[in-house]
Structures are given as structure tokens and as C-alpha cells.
Structure 1
Amino acid sequence: GEQLASALEIGHGDVFQYSAPELAYLAKQAYYERGYLDTEIIPHEIIYGDSIDVAFQVFEGEPWRIRRIDFAGNVKTREKVLRREIALRPGDVFKQSQLQESQRRLFMLGFFEDVQVNEQTSPYGDEKFIDLNFTVKEQRTGAASMGAGYSDRDKLVGQLGLQIPNFRGLGQNLDFSWEFGTRREQFLFGLTEPWLLDPPTSLSFRLYTLNQQYLNSFEFKRNSVSLRVGRRLKKPSFTTVSLGYELRDERYDDFASNYNPDDLSFQPRTTSSLELTVRRDTRDLPDFPTSGTVFSYSPELASSLIAGDTDFHRHELVANYYRPSWWKFVLAVESKFALIDGFSTFDDQNISFWDKFTPGGVDWWDGQVRGYPDASLGPRFSAVTDSNGVPTGKLVQNVFGTNTGGRSMMTLNLEYRFPITERQVIGLAFFDAGNAWAGVGDFDPTDLRKSIGVGFRVLTPMLGMIGFDFAYGFDRRKVDGQRPGISTHFQFGPRFF
């Protein structure tokens, strides 16, 4: 009785919000969750003036158990990849919530266009069994591609790649990409095994190189290798924990006249770091979800004690929320908070420019704030000169100066999304806000650069995502001294980080 009252979330003295038949339906759903599929509940109401008693006559029956779990439609994907995502096992008592979670997990693999499940009762003697039949419709999940991409920061970039999220039908993720252009050349090779030796433990390896002309400011070269081990947790549900190690080498060269090549943040360095990530993901779909949340926290520690020459700690918090609205409209709220700090004044000065934060535009590295140029938000400083025009070595904050990158940042994106064609063309209206600040103590969530706009996204199997955004940045004068106006953001091509 107490368990049933708890499931109904109603008690003595509460306002009577449901009719007796509605309460009987909720009670039956509570029994259904515990495997009692043929339970009958008859409600009775007794009215006393302004109060009412509700009694239930319950015919419980016996809980149903899982007899078989079968799959159909998986032509490429091996059955064990599907079966390991199912929360129920033969012999278990049927639970509706675990069935729904199993269906969500199959969708979140990103291999299937549709996932349907059929429940078929299969009584045997005095025992009650139920068979679960999952029918999937596979979608194109990988291809060798040759194409191009475009962004405000990197301009036109050619691309050759091989992306197979379901490598050999085993659920492994294989990435190979070579991107080349006048401003950027990038190479990536990565392999992820999501179920190492069959338990839900993932192992990822990644090799990455980047040569980039950064916004006509300097040349940047980076080589890195990383290894990450992750584990899906049973409790709390929807949660994964991973630990990664990265060793990276960075070089800066060919500076523009407004940059100081002797600044410690532009010196050659080797960074050796460990990163822990805790992530809870309840989304229903991996791309443009319609419901659910994402919360993740990632602390990173870089130390010169092991193979590196820089010391800092970095923290990143992501909180996203998705809620369906009327018809097929979806409200998406996405936020990101991050800081990076050294252990001494020298460590603070020695943090690489690339590790600092420069959000703005459609910059997916640090966070997008449309209506402003890519990587434009953050503290700007100009060199102080004497009466003869000779630099004094001091800096003064100036919107017309050079963006030096912040050590704390925040971005907030509110989008109202609607499908133009189902899961392929998405329209959106948005409000963005964000900024980066020079120091950790300078973080100020009331000092944000804001914008509004509209746009659309097209998901293609070969080029990835194609996007157009038209945004008005209200605070452009505070960013780089330019007049506020409408900015157009165009991007296409798969994203690699």
C-alpha cells in the first residue's frame, strides 16, 4: 500500500487532482512497471463533504518474466552489439522503464534510423512469460569521403576522410581525417572500442596534428597523442566515467605586428595532462535531441613532473536541457562554464594561448556566441608606448587591442528548434550569450555579450552538418569596437576535435 501511494504521489490532505479512473490507471502503470501485466484495479470513491476517500480493489496476478529477446533488421550490425545495450535479460521480471531505456540506448548508438519493439505474451504452464522483439532500421553510418568545409576562422578547407561509427559491425568507432587549406592542415586518426572484452568499458586512442594560420595573427603547430578509458555505470543511471592521458607539443611562429612573440603564453611547450570526465546523458537522440539532459564535469591536471614543462588545472562544466514543446518544436538550453589556472604567478603566465578561452561566432572549441566573429570574445590588450612610440612593456585593456584569451569563460545558448523535414533539415531561432575574462577571479555572469538570430541545419551523410545562421550581436562595440549589425555564419563539414 505504501509503495502504491508513493507511486501515485498523493496522500492524505492533498488536493484531489485526478478522477478515480485516472488514479486507477496510474496505479495500474505502477504495477506494470513491476511486471504485473494483467493486473486489474477497480476504484471506489466515497465523498464526505469537501473530502473524498479513494479505495482500490486490486487483482494482482503474477509478475511476467522475459522469455526471449530477438532482433530483426540488423543487416550490418552484429547481434551482440544490440543485445549488450538491452537492460533486460531472459528470466528477469519485466519492467517498462528498462524496456524504454533499452530502446533509448539503441537510438543513442547512432546506427539506426528507427527502433521499434513489440511485446508478445507467451504463457507457459502456470508461469507467465513475455517475448521482446526489437526491429531496427539501419542508417548509413560511415563512408569514405572527399569534400570541403568552410568556417569564418579557417575559410575553405578540403577534406579526405574515412568515418565509420560502426566499424566491422562491432560498434567500434574508426576516424581518419586529413583536412587541408590555405589556413589549416589537420590530420586525425582515432579508434574507439566501446565494449573492451565485452563489459561496458571503452578504450580510445587518438593521434592528432594541426598546422594553422590563426586569424592572420600567427602560425600554430600542435602534435598530440591521447589514450582514454571509460566505464558506463549502473548507478547512478545514464552515467559514464572516463580517464584520459594526453601528451601534446605546441609551437607558435610568424607573429603579426600586434603580437609579442616573447610572451610566455606563446613559447614552445610540451604538455602532459590527465583528464577525468563524469557525464550523465539522458537524451533520446544523439543529434538534435527532443528530450533529456546532459551534465558533464571534466577536471584536467597538467604537470611538469611527468614529460611536460607546464603546470595548471582546468575545469569544464556542461549543462544542457532539451524539452519538447507544442507540435514538434523543441526548446534546447545549452551552457558551458570553464576555467584554467596555474599553481603560481609564473604558471598563470606560462599557460599556452591555445589553452585559454576565446569563444565567439560558431567556434565549437570554446563555445559559440553567434553575431560576433569566430574566437573574438575575451580580454583585449594594447601595448603602452612612451612619447617616442617605443613600447614600455606594459599593457592596457582596449577593445581595439589584441585578444589575449581568457582564463575563465561562460556561454549560454537558447534555441527553439523545429523540423522542416524529419531528422534532416532543422530550423531554429536562438539567443546566445557569453564572454571570457582575463583571470579566474574576473568571472562575471552578468557581463555577457548577447545576440539573437535565426538559422537552419541540414544533416548530410557525406558532408556532415551544413549550417546557416543570421545573428545580430548587441554588444559588438564592447568586443572589437565595431558597429552592431547582422553577421552571417556559414559552416559545413564534419567536426573533429
Structure 2
Amino acid sequence: MEKLANNSIKGIKNCIKPYLKLLLPLLFFSGQGIAQEIPFENGKQYILGGLTVTGLQSYNEQTVKTYTGLRVGQPITIPGDEISEVIKKLWGLELFSNVEMYYTKIEDDKIFLELNITERPTLANVTVYGVKKRKVEDIINDTDLKKGKKITESLIANTKNFLQNKYKKQGYLNAKVNIATSPDTSATNTENMVINVNKGDKVKIRSIAFEGNEMLSNKRLRKALKNTKKKKFYRFWKKSKYIQDDYEEDLSNLVDAYAERGYRDARILSDTFIKVDEKNIDLKIKLEEGDKYYFGDIDFVGNTVYTDRQLSQVLGIRKGETYNGVLLKERIADDSKPDANDLTNLYQNNGYLFSSINPVEVSAVNDTINFEIRIIEGKETFLNHVTVTGNDKTNDHVIFRELRTRPGQKYSKDDLVRSIRELGQLGFFDAENIKPDIQNPKPNEGTVDVNYSLVEAGSSQIELQGGFGGGGFIGTLGLSFSNFSLKNIFNGEAYKPVPMGDGQTFALRLQASRTFRVYSLNFAEPWLGGKKPVRFNLSLSRTQQFATNYTSRGRIDVNKDRGFSITGVSAGLAKRVTWPDDFFTVSHSVSYQLYDFNDFNNGLFNFGNGSSNSLSYTFGISRSSQGPNRIFPMSGSNFELTAKFTPPYSLFSSKDYKQLKNDIRTTTERLLEIGQNPSDIEEQLEFAQLSDNLESMEEERFKLLEFYKIKFKGDWYTPIVDKLVLRTNAEFGFLGAYNHDIGDVPFERFFVGGDGLGNFTLDGRDVIQLRGYENSSLTPYSTNPITGNAERDGGTIYNKFSLELRYPLTLKPSASIYALSFLEAGNAFNNFSEFNPFELKRSAGVGLRIFMPAFGLLGIDFGYGFDTDAQPNSTGPSGWQTHFIIGQQF
């Protein structure tokens, strides 16, 4: 098949000239193998005798024929709309680089056509140069450069523009991107793509100049540019790179800065971008300030639900005050705070979802502006349907019982915000992705639906540790399931891997080495009975510590026939209350511990044989409004006040505790007088006898423990800017005795200093974190009269204060990471007579926290202690200390 001679084709081209202009040529060939004259009538109707498709490499011929819509036997006009539309459709697919239609022969009124197609190459591989390897995959995903994608001019142009704009937004204004393709010989009609990225240097702002400002200084205006800062050597927090989007936002901030000070008519006349060199630019902003204005009369129109006086109190703006457009807007509707005290929330919290509030300037007399606040209250709105989606593991009833929004209730934005917080505090869902969606609003009927879209987060944790310490290998296995389902414990199908979904907590922890063993089991049901938020908690624990001796070779000899153990059980109830507000919880718990000694004295106690019993009741009041994310709270506070009491046994006892106290003091003084290494045989015998007597008296004194223990802890979370949060903490604790002749018990004391971890505590102590010092190093010491060693007794009173700046690096469900810096101060004291709230040990430092659902909280702190610790012979500041945090509370 050959093309016709030029003189033949010329006449045909004149007939189809409009199609040639569209680059959709219809060329006619003879089927005789040589060029010849064939009669062809312009616009004549033929019958399609056949259609063939040539040039295909990857597509099926029949598929292409079907797509053209042409059928053998159909009438067709040549040239005509049918052929034109077919070619347009094929070009529109962007799958072909060339589309041509030929006729191969004409027989009577039949015409035979050939569709010749050149396929566009497909993408084989993409190579990116000029960026870090870890960024390559992001670039490929963002530009959708998938293998097998057709390579088109628009694909290359769009990719180039996207990447250049991406880097310009990051401050690389000189970024250049070049894209080239080359054939790939490993496959048919495929090409490789190479992307060369030259970001260049970040363009910094050398100077920012203002023109036309008289009422506000240059310094004040530069401060208003929150994200656009000029280059200074000491600037770390806000960078000086130029980013177009941030700059445009800051121009609006400039106008707002004037509006806040009464200059309603202030505007930007021009802003000029001056390129100094490849790395620096200057910005010049020309302003017109206008006159200063004041608020005049403010009238409310359309209000029936609230009086003018009530609305004026919320608005908080008085006649004669300097005009502040930003404040006026915030008092009408503050979009930056979901629970802001503004007029819009006032209405929405009372059911008027469809209300609208608009401030209108009705007149301006000289420098005074009079306003009307025009209110359309709309119809009172009620919730119709409340649904949840996304909870694949957690049962619906666990979610619905936490919601403050119920079908039939009056709509309240405050209830919506509170529900988000309560769901976030459960820990079962990603707090950053709890999104209530208002659906099916019907203003005329006064109804609306609410759907809570949830994303499940890991709610189970496993602790598996191994290491060497205390003379041997220490192994720890901990399992914690915070969304457990006890009722399905005998349902084999519910084990995935354990029964889940009812919001209960089940935790099991085992820790063992050659020298000690710890077992604990905890179970908690947050809604006992399922109808009210009454939390039930039950815990069992068993601790064993074995006696050890160091051999001459430095090895540890463990004697399991001698030791010390604590067996404990506790049960508690905690109920949410509605007074003074519904953030409060009142708790009650009863616990019993048996302290059993068998020829064991390690300095914590003055007797090595016998037992002590502790039966106590704890009453607690707490208020928790922190949230919405329990891992990284950004607002609210948490207060806890607890009081722990034992019965005053000595009140009902006939023992003479005063005489017992005197005997113990006399015996102790004599032991200290004799010393640890008496040379005289009589003194040796006396020392042994006195030691036994002292142990017997100490056991008698503490057979039934009696004490009271008061603790307070408060945390405040204050957002500073963006997601930078200040956590303020204050703590106080006091351990007291009913009977001063018995004195303070050797258990339940406060040990201050270090990382604050108390995974293995023998005596009910509270371990208080104070970073920058070694563990428990701020705890008072005393001399044990039997062993002669200086031992940490633990304080009976302590106080602590801390400031902690936190900033999240990521709050994704898979891992939440935040950095922090801290200032801390605290101390522990033996008694109230020694207590001085201003005698504090100070420290400062930085840290990092990582929370992964499967492993809990992990972290590291570097703290510097500015003062001397309480250890014997310590001099100078404590200095730098490194603390590793595992499983500590948030």
C-alpha cells in the first residue's frame, strides 16, 4: 500500500482541510500497490466494508475497534463527523502519540479503512537525583509516577511544576527540576525516567522594611509577621527563610495588628520582593494606616432567647473603647477555640445550631463606629440520630456510654467537644482523628444527626525485658490489655489474641531474678453494672526478696531460706460525680499488706524476724479535664488528693508505748555506743543481746501498722503557641502517726530523686521523680544501730515543683513522639520540724518521649542537678544524669 501521487493528494487535502487543521488527518491510499487516480467524491456516503488497526503493541485490536464505535456495514460519510469524532476520542485518551486514518480500497459503495496508531511509551523505572534516598519514595508517591503509567508531555510538565513548587514552598526559591526519558531495552515500548532536582540554597530574608507607618513602630510590625522573620544569627525557633504562603498569611496579620489598635481602614498599598542574590531577598511593605476609631453604640437585633444585657456581658465590649476588629470577630465566633466564650457558642450550647450572628456597621460619626449585632436565632435543634463508625474492635456500648450527645437531646457544641475528650481519654482510638460529623441538618424541622468517625489505636501493651543487675539476670514479662472483655473469656472465637472490646483492664506482670520475684495481677471494670460510671478495681500482688552475701571472689551467694515478702490485695470503687462539676471523681479503696521477715535485715527495717500487718482505707478526690489526647494533653488540668488511713490500734491497746519508746531509744543509744566491732567478749555478747532485744521491740511496735498519709498532685496544661504546651506540676506528700510514742512507720515513705520508676518497691513507698539526681539520692539518711550502715530511711514529707515545655514531633497512632525541656525543684524531709518548702534541690534538662501502643511509653532525659544530693560525703552539684523512662505515667 502506497500513498497517492502528490497531485492526487493535493486535491483530497483541500477537501479535508478542516480536519488537517485539527491534526487529525484522513489520508487516502489505493490498495493497488502503485499511485493512481481513484474517483473520490467529497462528502459521499459509503458503507463501511472493513476496519483494521495497525501499530498496536500492548492493546487488543478488537478492544480498540469496539471503542471507536464503528461497525462493519454501517453507512459512513467521508469526510464526515464519524471519522472526526473517532480520532478525537482516541486522542482524548492520552494513550497514543499519533493517530491516523487511511482508506485501503473502495469497492462500489463500500470503503475499507485502516486505523494506524502509535502507542505512548509506558514508565518502567524512575531515578531521582539531588535528594536524600529516604525522600525518593515520597516524591514518587506524591507525583504518582507508578510503573506502567503512560508517559505524556503533560505528565512530565505536571511533575516538574509540582516538584519546583514543592521546594519553593519550603524556601528553595531557586529550585530547578529537569526530567529526561530514555528507552528501556528490557521491555517493549517502555522508557526510564530520570529526575534531577537542584534545590539550591534556601533563600533567606535579609531585611524587612516598612513605609508609611507612623502609629506602629517597625518592631511592632515585624512582631506581627509571625512566620516571616528577617535573618539573625541567634534565631532558632522561627526560621528566616521566605515561604510564599506564610508571607501572604502574615500580610493579613499586619492588617489585623492595626485593626486591634483601632485602625480599621489600615491596608497594604504594595509589597515588593527584591532579590539581592541567590541566597537573600529584601521585603518592602508600603502601608496606609488611616484614622483611629472607637466603639460607639452596640445594639442587638433579633434576639429573643437572651436579653441585651446577657449578650453584652458575653461580648465584653463597651462604648468608648478603642475599636478592635479582631476582638469583635473573636467575641462573635472564635474559630481558634472550640469551647471559646463567644456569642456563637452561647447559642449553639443552648440548642440553636442554625443561629447566625453578624456585626454590621450602621454609622460612623467622626471617629466613632456604631454597630448592630444582627441575630437570626433559627429553630431550636435536637439530635435525631447519633452513630459511630470505625470501631472495629471496641463494642458500641463502650463508646455510647462515654458520649454526652444522645438522640433526643438538645444540641450542644459543648457536649460535642466534651464527647471528643472522653473518647480520646479512653485510649482506644487515635485522639487526633476523632471527628464528629454533623449530618442531615434540617433547619425547618430543628433536627440534626451526628456521626463520630473513629480510628482504632492499639490498646494492648507487652513488656518483655531482660538484663543483668543485682547479681544476675533479671527477666520481666508484662501483659496489659486496656480494652479487655471478661464476659468473653470462655468464648474461643473471641480470642484475637485475647477477648477485647468491653473497655476493661487486665494486667499481669512477672519479674524475677536470683535475688527477688514479683508477681502482680490487676483487673478494672470502668462501668460496674453497665449503667453508671462506677469504676471497680481489684489487684493482687506478691513480692519476695532473698538474702544475699558477697563471696571473696565477688560473686553473690543467694540464700532462699532467708528473706522478706509482701503479700497484698486491694479493692476499690471510684465514681464520677456531677458536683462541683462533672470532671470530679470520688474514690474509695481498702487494701491489706502482710510484711513477712525471715532472718532478713536490709536496713529498711530494724527487725529481721516476724511480720507486720497493714490494713488501710484510702479516700480520694480527683478532677481531670486534661485532653483531648491522653498521651499528649494540650489543655486542661488534673488534680489528685488522697488520704490513706489505718485504724488507730494503739487507742484500744493496753500496751505502754511510751515505755516501749524509751526502751528502744536506750537500746539504740547503747548499741551505737558499743559500736560495730567490740573487742571485749562481754561487749560482743551484750551487743548481740541488745540487737535481739531491739528487733523484738521493733516488731512489737510495728506488728499492726498505724499511720495516715496525705498526698496532693496537680498538673496544668497550657498551650503556648501552635502545639507547644507548658505542663506545670506541683506535688506534696506527708506521712503522719496517730501516736507519737509509736512514731512514724518504716513503710509507705517518700523517696525523691532520679527517674521516678518504682517497678520493684518492697515497702509501699512512693518513688518521686526529680531528674538530674541519682535515684532516691534526695532521701534522708540515718545510721542503722545494728548494721552501722548509713541507710535511706525515706522521707515523711516532700514537695516538688516542675515546669515542662512539650512539643509533639508526631502524634500518629503507630507512634506518638514529643520532645521536652524541664525545670524541676523538690526535696524530702524527715519530719515537719525540718520541713522548709523553700529548701529545694534544683535541676534542668531536656528529654524525649515515644509512645507505641504495643510497648507503652519509652523515653530518655538528660538532667543537670545544680545542688548537692543527700548522700553521705557528697560535695558540689550533682551534675549531669541520664534517665531512661519505661512505662511511666504521661
Same fold (TM over 0.5): yes
The residue that corresponds to 1:7 in the other structure is 314
| 2:666 is equivalent to residue 320 of structure 1 | no
The residue that corresponds to 1:101 in the other structure is 418
Separation (CA, whole Å) in 2 of partners of 1:129 and 1:311? 60
Separation (CA, whole Å) in 2 of partners of 1:182 and 1:455? 33
Question: 2:606 aligns to what SS in structure 1?
Answer: coil
Q: CA separation of 1:116/1:20 partners in 2, compared to 1, >3 Å: closer, same or farther?
A: closer
| 2:731 is equivalent to residue 336 of structure 1 | yes
**Please, which moves more after superposition, 333-342 or 359-368?**
359-368
Q: CA separation of 1:327/1:119 partners in 2, compared to 1, >3 Å: closer, same or farther?
A: same
Separation (CA, whole Å) in 1 of partners of 2:328 and 2:822? 43
| 2:504 is equivalent to residue 172 of structure 1 | yes
The residue that corresponds to 2:612 in the other structure is 269
The residue that corresponds to 1:310 in the other structure is 705
Separation (CA, whole Å) in 2 of partners of 1:176 and 1:458? 23
Separation (CA, whole Å) in 2 of partners of 1:161 and 1:478? 34
Q: CA separation of 1:358/1:267 partners in 2, compared to 1, >3 Å: closer, same or farther?
A: farther
Q: CA separation of 1:155/1:448 partners in 2, compared to 1, >3 Å: closer, same or farther?
A: farther
Question: 2:418 aligns to what SS in structure 1?
Answer: helix
Q: CA separation of 1:112/1:151 partners in 2, compared to 1, >3 Å: closer, same or farther?
A: farther
Separation (CA, whole Å) in 1 of partners of 2:767 and 2:355? 53
Q: CA deviation at 1:432?
A: 1.8
Question: 2:752 aligns to what SS in structure 1?
Answer: coil
Aligned counterparts, 1:86-125, within 5 A: 86-113=403-430, 114-123=433-442
Separation (CA, whole Å) in 2 of partners of 1:435 and 1:215? 32
Q: 8 Å contact 2:778–2:870 — kept in the other structure?
A: no
Q: 8 Å contact 1:150–1:491 — kept in the other structure?
A: no
Residue deviations 1:139-198 (CA, integer Å, cap 9, x gap): 11115x461167999997422232110012111111111122355421111111111112
Q: CA deviation at 1:209?
A: 1.6
Question: 1:30 aligns to what SS in structure 2?
Answer: helix
Q: 8 Å contact 2:459–2:854 — kept in the other structure?
A: no
Q: 8 Å contact 2:533–2:576 — kept in the other structure?
A: yes
Q: CA deviation at 1:15?
A: 6.3
Please, what TM-score do these two structures have when normalized by structure 2? 0.49
Question: 2:393 aligns to what SS in structure 1?
Answer: coil
Aligned counterparts, 1:53-64, within 5 A: 54-64=371-381
Of the three residues 446, 454, 463, the one matched with 1:136 is: 454
**Please, which moves more after superposition, 22-31 or 308-317?**
22-31
Of the three residues 34, 50, 62, the one matched with 2:350 is: 34
Aligned counterparts, 1:372-411, within 5 A: 372-382=773-783, 401-411=790-800
| 2:850 is equivalent to residue 458 of structure 1 | yes
**Please, which moves more after superposition, 19-28 or 147-156?**
147-156
Q: CA deviation at 1:382?
A: 3.3
1:238 is matched by which residue type in structure 2? F
Please, what TM-score do these two structures have when normalized by structure 1? 0.86
In terms of fraction of residues, the more helix-rich structure is 2
Separation (CA, whole Å) in 2 of partners of 1:290 and 1:155? 43
Q: CA deviation at 1:296?
A: 1.1
Separation (CA, whole Å) in 2 of partners of 1:346 and 1:162? 44
Q: CA deviation at 1:243?
A: 0.4
In terms of fraction of residues, the more strand-rich structure is 1
Question: 1:358 aligns to what SS in structure 2?
Answer: strand
Aligned counterparts, 1:241-320, within 5 A: 241-251=586-596, 254-256=600-602, 259=603, 261-262=605-606, 268-284=611-627, 285-303=629-647, 305=649, 309-320=704-715
Q: CA deviation at 1:431?
A: 1.6
The residue that corresponds to 2:123 in the other structure is none
1:167 is matched by which residue type in structure 2? F
Residue deviations 1:373-431 (CA, integer Å, cap 9, x gap): 21222222236xxxxxxx6x9x9xxxx94321111111223222222333522222112
Could you tell me which runs of 5 or more consecutive residues in structure 1 were left unpaired when the two chains were aligned.
384-390
2:574 is matched by which residue type in structure 1? G
1:490 is matched by which residue type in structure 2? F
Of the three residues 453, 468, 472, the one matched with 2:860 is: 468
1:8 is matched by which residue type in structure 2? L
Number of residues of Structure 1 aligned to a counterpart in Structure 2: 475
**Please, which moves more after superposition, 190-199 or 441-450?**
441-450
Q: CA separation of 1:453/1:23 partners in 2, compared to 1, >3 Å: closer, same or farther?
A: closer
The residue that corresponds to 1:196 in the other structure is 528
1:196 is matched by which residue type in structure 2? L
Separation (CA, whole Å) in 2 of partners of 1:212 and 1:363? 21
Of the three residues 209, 233, 238, the one matched with 2:583 is: 238
1:27 is matched by which residue type in structure 2? L
Separation (CA, whole Å) in 2 of partners of 1:8 and 1:267? 70
Separation (CA, whole Å) in 1 of partners of 2:425 and 2:853? 17
Q: CA separation of 1:470/1:156 partners in 2, compared to 1, >3 Å: closer, same or farther?
A: farther
Separation (CA, whole Å) in 1 of partners of 2:548 and 2:804? 28
Q: CA deviation at 1:343?
A: 0.9
Q: CA deviation at 1:50?
A: 7.6
The residue that corresponds to 1:388 in the other structure is none
Q: 8 Å contact 1:340–1:440 — kept in the other structure?
A: no
Residue deviations 1:428-479 (CA, integer Å, cap 9, x gap): 2112211111113433220111111222122233432222222111113554
2:798 is matched by which residue type in structure 1? M
Q: 8 Å contact 1:437–1:443 — kept in the other structure?
A: yes
Q: CA deviation at 1:348?
A: 2.3
Q: CA separation of 1:52/1:401 partners in 2, compared to 1, >3 Å: closer, same or farther?
A: farther
Separation (CA, whole Å) in 2 of partners of 1:404 and 1:229? 32
Separation (CA, whole Å) in 2 of partners of 1:316 and 1:43? 51
Q: CA deviation at 1:40?
A: 2.8
Separation (CA, whole Å) in 2 of partners of 1:4 and 1:464? 47
Q: Tell me how large the CA RMSD over aligned residues is.
A: 3.3
Q: 8 Å contact 1:39–1:61 — kept in the other structure?
A: yes
Structure with greater contact order relative to length (CA < 8 Å, sep ≥ 6): 1
Separation (CA, whole Å) in 2 of partners of 1:40 and 1:300? 53
**Please, which moves more after superposition, 146-155 or 128-137?**
146-155
Q: 8 Å contact 2:861–2:883 — kept in the other structure?
A: yes
Question: 2:747 aligns to what SS in structure 1?
Answer: helix
Q: CA separation of 1:38/1:262 partners in 2, compared to 1, >3 Å: closer, same or farther?
A: closer
1:123 is matched by which residue type in structure 2? K
